[in-house]
Structure 1
Amino acid sequence: MGRLIVPAITLSFLAYFAFHAQSGKYGIGSKEILASDLAGAQTRYEQLLNRREKLERRVQLLHDGTLERDMIDESARRLLGYSATDEVTIMR
């Protein structure tokens, strides 16, 4: 009976790890769920990356040495709510 203790403990450890490898949170069964989550996260990352690039381009126009008069005028008018008498203002 003493010779069966080590194989029994080993078998129980193997069964435990085999069960969790199949059905655990990061097991084989959850691979599809993790893949769909990854695809959604990559889509969101690409959207955020595009938005960041657009914002960086706008900020680049406001850097010293490259200040464009139109960007300053547009920003000032938007922040102050100013418009000239001969302009048509379209509110969104």
Structure 2
Amino acid sequence: MRQDASLAKERLIQGVALALLLLMGAFVIAGPSGLIAWTENQHMLEERRAKLAELRLARDHLKNRVGLLDQNHVDPDLAGELLRSNLNVVRPDEMVMMLDK
């Protein structure tokens, strides 16, 4: 009888240990920092890197236009473009052609 009780106790301990190992394995795969979350984070990181590259290009474009609008050395082509597009200013001898982009 004594041996049956110790055998049952040992099986219970092994069952609890197995359950804990399975639970830890589930957390490794599907936990908040598990493999599934890690792959999702990698995907989000790649998306954000692409967005960052896009924003850097836009920033560089704007920085170039600001540099061309320097108060001391305004680029005449850009000034003419801005006047025509924003103020709708056209000389009488000019012909305006709208191009679809």
* 1:44-82 deviation line (CA, Å, top 9, x unaligned): 110110111011101101012221222222111111112
Q: CA deviation at 1:84?
A: 1.8
1:24 aligns with 2:31: yes
User: What percentage of aligned pairs have identical amino acids?
Assistant: 23
- Give the structure-2-normalised TM-score: 0.64
Instruction: Write the letter of the residue equivalent to 1:48.
Output: L
Mean Cα deviation higher: 63-72 or 50-59: 63-72
Instruction: Write the letter of the residue equivalent to 2:52.
Output: Y
Q: CA deviation at 1:21?
A: 4.6
1:25–1:88 distance in 2 versus 1, CA, 3 Å: farther
Q: Decide which of 69, 75, 82 is 2:76's aligned counterpart.
A: 69
Gaps of 5+ in 2: 1-16
Q: How does 1:1-92 map to 2 (within 5 A)?
A: 18=24, 20-91=27-98, 92=100
- Give the structure-1-normalised TM-score: 0.69
Could you say what the CA RMSD is over the residues aligned between the two structures, in angstroms? 2.2
Mean Cα deviation higher: 42-51 or 17-26: 17-26
Instruction: Write the letter of the residue equivalent to 2:47.
Output: G
Max Rg structure? 2
Q: CA deviation at 1:29?
A: 2.4
Aligned residues: 79
Mean Cα deviation higher: 49-58 or 19-28: 19-28
Gaps of 5+ in 1: 1-10
Moved over 6 A (4+): none
